[in-house]
């Protein structure tokens, strides 16, 4: 892998980011809307509860932490689509750029934008609701890593789908990860789910992270070792989804890159 | 002279349809090859396989002696392309598009290179403009500029001068001829502009239904057509002409008093003698020899050259 090529791809998307209001809005606008809308709604519903501030903290922290998997999956699928819309895919792949360099760059962009959005939303949560997610300290790091890996799984699967079916299924690039939100237990404990859904949640790495987050906020931090299983799961899923992505790319090359445009 | 490109028994099928049927050709350093063919002949499919963005069903493409299937990244460091099938991101400025594109190649002095490209392609007035603000011709020019950022040794141009105004198109043709002359750049181009192909190309490859049906210099290809067109303004005994043309198994059309007679080139002296013998008088005469366009048209129509 050559860093200068990855920098070239990074610049391509960063220049677009700089020029495109809706891409800028993705980083700041939607986290703000989510926080204001769901934060105020939650505050209203739990205002009569004896531990209202703690419950609000759990909800808000869930919202803020969810930014990581959301951005991680979003950058892969949407940036591929942007190149499809611009008829620019060939300008990238008929060059020395290797497929893995392109994927790695998009994953890195997802991390970078995830950190920016997370930091912004974290500060906003503090200003609006006096909820300080940064108080969770070092725990945030392994949690962010696990759910980012999980987000990449969706990103790779959606990208594979776009490569296979073209723009007919482009809406998935924005929405696919929301399929798993109910099982990821972002806003409520896994125990709230019906039995069959709890079984599904056991196979969703993000559910362990949000359970751990709620435990930490309520003063019962989960040992880091408890995150070993979700980490292994995430890596396993990532391996599978990366294989699917590579297979889809090879299949696309058999049809020709132009076929997706 | 070293071989830059070697295509061996290249085939491509989509489902049950074979669109490239085992083509073979090679290209030497500094050579300019034109690929012509009617729509659907397989030109773009072939170019895609040469660039490694379409996997052949079988066969191989070797560029600089290396198999592109195995050494795609290394090979494409010295290859570039410009195609009417691609665009650069519309929201980015010309400068930004050339900057990010340049980083995809191992270029030592990037700043200097981009300044040179800006000058060569006369991009100064467009430099800060977004692609969306450019005309079709200007976008083509920027695409051509992008194709030169790595100063490629092998350049693939898919209709390079389409949508350029005549002055810029001429400048571009001179530019590419200059690249070959000064840097031994090897060029493959597809074009529907026959005059352009005749002017630029050392050799022309004619594709039809996925097969190579012609591979020679433009002049030699045109010579393969054994017919010629004789234009005569007849002033006396025009009625005798029809019988004469029928006798020589030629064809004839008339437009505003000028008869255009088509027959085999070797029959010309005999035909002129007969005109004189039969006292068919004319006031104007001209002979059109077949050119590359005639050859292309004959291939496109699927007609036998001899029959024409």
Q: pLDDT tens digits for A99-116?
A: 999 999 999 999 999 999
Q: How many CB atoms lie within 10 A of CB B245?
A: 18
Instruction: Give the homologous superfamily in CATH for domain B3-222.
Output: P-loop containing nucleotide triphosphate hydrolases (3.40.50.300)
Looking at residue A140, its pLDDT comes to 92
- Measured between CB atoms, which of B45, B53, B86 is closest to A88? B86
Q: Look at B89 and A98 and tell me if their CB atoms are within 8 Å.
A: no
pTM above 0.90, yes or no: no
Tell me if A78 sits within 8 A of A173, measured CB to CB: yes
How many contacts (CB atoms, under 8 Å) link A and B? 101
Cα distance from B224 to chain A (closest Cα, Å)? 35
Cα distance from A259 to chain B (closest Cα, Å)? 10
A3 touches chain B (CB under 8 A): no
Q: Look at B91 and A92 and tell me if their CB atoms are within 8 Å.
A: no
For residue range B96-136, list pLDDT tens digits in order. 999 999 999 999 899 999 999 999 999 999 999 999 999 98
Cβ-based contacts of B88 with chain A (< 8 Å): 86, 88, 91
Q: Mean pLDDT over residues B257-278, rounded? A: 86
Say if residue B303's pLDDT is above 60: no
Domain ranges of chain B: 3-222, 226-289
- Measured between CB atoms, which of A8, A16, A250 is closest to B103? A8
Say if residue B155's pLDDT is above 80: yes
Q: Look at B92 and A96 and tell me if their CB atoms are within 8 Å.
A: no
Cβ-based contacts of B58 with chain A (< 8 Å): none
Q: Look at B104 and A5 and tell me if their CB atoms are within 8 Å.
A: yes
Chain B neighbours among A 224-253 (CB < 8 Å)?
250, 253
Total domain count, chain A: 1
Chain B neighbours among A 26-45 (CB < 8 Å)?
none
Distance CA A113, CA B29 (A): 46
Coil vs helix vs strand at B179: helix
Assign domain B226-289 to a CATH class: alpha beta
Query: What share of chain B has pLDDT > 70, as a percent?
Result: 97
For residue range B179-231, list pLDDT tens digits in order. 999 999 999 999 888 888 988 999 999 999 999 998 999 888 888 777 888 89
The whole-chain average pLDDT of chain B stands at 90
| Residues with Cβ within 8 Å of residue A245, at least 6 apart in sequence | A103, A156, A157, A159, A160, A163
Say if residue B253's pLDDT is above 80: yes
Name the band, by pLDDT with cuts 50, 70 and 90, for residue B275: confident
Looking at residue A50, its pLDDT comes to 75
Distance CA B175, CA B118 (A): 14
Q: Look at A11 and B102 and tell me if their CB atoms are within 8 Å.
A: no
Q: Is B250 left (phi over 0), alpha (psi -120 to 50) or beta?
A: beta
Looking at residue A166, its pLDDT comes to 85
Looking at residue A261, its pLDDT comes to 64
- Chain B residues contacting A, CB < 8 Å? 14, 44-45, 48, 51-55, 72-74, 76-77, 80-81, 83, 85-93, 96, 99-106, 130, 146
Q: Look at B85 and A258 and tell me if their CB atoms are within 8 Å.
A: yes
Cα distance from B218 to chain A (closest Cα, Å)? 29
Name the band, by pLDDT with cuts 50, 70 and 90, for residue B305: very low
What phi and psi values does residue B151 have, to the nearest 5 degrees?
Answer: 45, 70
Q: Is A158 left (phi over 0), alpha (psi -120 to 50) or beta?
A: alpha
Question: Tell me, what DSSP letter sits at residue B45?
Answer: H
Cα distance from B78 to chain A (closest Cα, Å)? 9
Q: Look at A91 and B52 and tell me if their CB atoms are within 8 Å.
A: no
For residue range A218-254, list pLDDT tens digits in order. 888 788 788 899 999 999 999 999 999 999 999 999 9
Q: How many CB atoms lie within 10 A of CB A51?
A: 11
Coil vs helix vs strand at B264: strand
Q: Is A169 left (phi over 0), alpha (psi -120 to 50) or beta?
A: alpha
Q: Look at B45 and A256 and tell me if their CB atoms are within 8 Å.
A: yes
A21 touches chain B (CB under 8 A): no
Distance CA B193, CA B296 (A): 11
Q: Is B231 left (phi over 0), alpha (psi -120 to 50) or beta?
A: beta
Distance CA B208, CA B19 (A): 10
Looking at residue A260, its pLDDT comes to 72
Range of the domain at A77: 3-260
| Residues with Cβ within 8 Å of residue A120, at least 6 apart in sequence | A27, A28, A31
B7 forms beta bridges with: B25, B61
Q: Look at B89 and A82 and tell me if their CB atoms are within 8 Å.
A: yes
Nearest CA in chain B to A256: B54
Q: Look at A8 and B88 and tell me if their CB atoms are within 8 Å.
A: no
Q: Look at B130 and A88 and tell me if their CB atoms are within 8 Å.
A: no
Q: Which residues of chain A have pLDDT under 50?
A: none
| Residues with Cβ within 8 Å of residue A14, at least 6 apart in sequence | A109
Looking at residue B276, its pLDDT comes to 87
Q: How many CB atoms lie within 10 A of CB B38?
A: 17
């Amino acid at each position: 892998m050559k860093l200068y090529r990855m920098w070239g791809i990074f610049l391509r998307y960063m220049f677009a980011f700089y020029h495109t209001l809706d891409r800028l809005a993705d980083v700041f606008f939607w986290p703000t809307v989510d926080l204001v809308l769901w934060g105020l709604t939650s505050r209203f519903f739990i205002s009569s509860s004896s531990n209202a501030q703690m419950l609000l903290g759990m909800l808000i922290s869930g919202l803020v932490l969810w930014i990581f998997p959301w951005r991680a999956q979003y950058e892969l699928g949407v940036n591929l689509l942007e190149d499809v819309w611009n008829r620019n895919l060939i300008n990238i792949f008929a060059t020395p750029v290797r497929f893995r360099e392109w994927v790695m760059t998009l994953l890195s962009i997802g991390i970078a934008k995830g950190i920016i959005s997370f930091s912004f939303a974290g500060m906003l949560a503090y200003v609006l609701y006096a909820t300080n997610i940064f108080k969770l300290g070092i725990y945030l790091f392994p949690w962010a890593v696990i759910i980012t890996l999980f987000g990449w799984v969706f990103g790779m699967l959606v990208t594979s789908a776009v490569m296979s079916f073209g723009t007919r299924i482009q809406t998935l690039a924005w929405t696919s990860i929301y399929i798993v939100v109910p099982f990821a237990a972002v806003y409520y404990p896994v125990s709230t789910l019906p039995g069959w859904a709890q079984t599904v949640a056991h196979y969703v790495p993000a559910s362990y992270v949000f359970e751990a987050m709620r435990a930490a906020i309520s003063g019962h931090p989960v040992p880091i070792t408890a995150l070993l299983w979700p980490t292994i799961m995430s890596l396993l899923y990532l391996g599978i989804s990366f294989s699917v992505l590579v297979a889809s790319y090879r299949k696309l090359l058999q049809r020709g890159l132009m076929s997706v445009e | 002279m070293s071989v830059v490109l070697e295509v061996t028994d290249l085939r491509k099928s989509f489902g049950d349809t074979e669109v490239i049927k085992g083509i073979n050709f090679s290209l030497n350093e500094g050579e300019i090859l034109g690929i012509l063919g009617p729509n659907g002949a397989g030109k773009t499919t072939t170019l895609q396989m040469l660039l490694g963005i379409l996997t052949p069903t079988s066969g191989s493409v070797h560029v600089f002696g290396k198999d592109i299937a195995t050494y795609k990244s290394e090979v494409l460091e010295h290859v570039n392309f410009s195609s009417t099938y691609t665009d650069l991101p519309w929201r980015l400025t010309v400068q930004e598009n050339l900057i990010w594109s340049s980083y995809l190649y191992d270029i030592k002095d990037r700043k200097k290179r981009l300044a040179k490209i800006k000058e060569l392609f006369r991009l100064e007035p467009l430099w800060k403009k977004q692609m969306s603000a450019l005309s079709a011709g200007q976008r083509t020019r920027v695409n051509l500029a992008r194709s030169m950022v790595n100063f490629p040794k092998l350049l693939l141009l898919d209709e390079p001068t389409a949508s350029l105004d005549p002055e810029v198109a001429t400048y571009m043709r001179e530019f590419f001829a200059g690249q070959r002359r000064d840097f031994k750049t090897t060029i493959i181009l597809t074009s529907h502009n026959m005059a352009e192909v005749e002017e630029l190309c050392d050799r022309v490859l004619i594709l039809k239904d996925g097969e190579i049906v012609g591979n020679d210099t433009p002049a030699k290809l045109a010579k393969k057509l054994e017919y010629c067109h004789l234009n005569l303004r007849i002033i006396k005994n025009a009625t005798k002409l029809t019988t004469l043309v029928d006798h020589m198994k030629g064809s004839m059309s008339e437009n505003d008093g000028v008869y255009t007679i088509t027959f085999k080139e070797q029959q010309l002296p005999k035909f002129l003698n007969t005109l004189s013998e039969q006292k068919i008088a004319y006031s104007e005469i001209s002979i059109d020899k077949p050119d590359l366009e005639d050859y292309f048209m004959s291939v496109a129509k699927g007609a036998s050259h001899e029959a024409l």
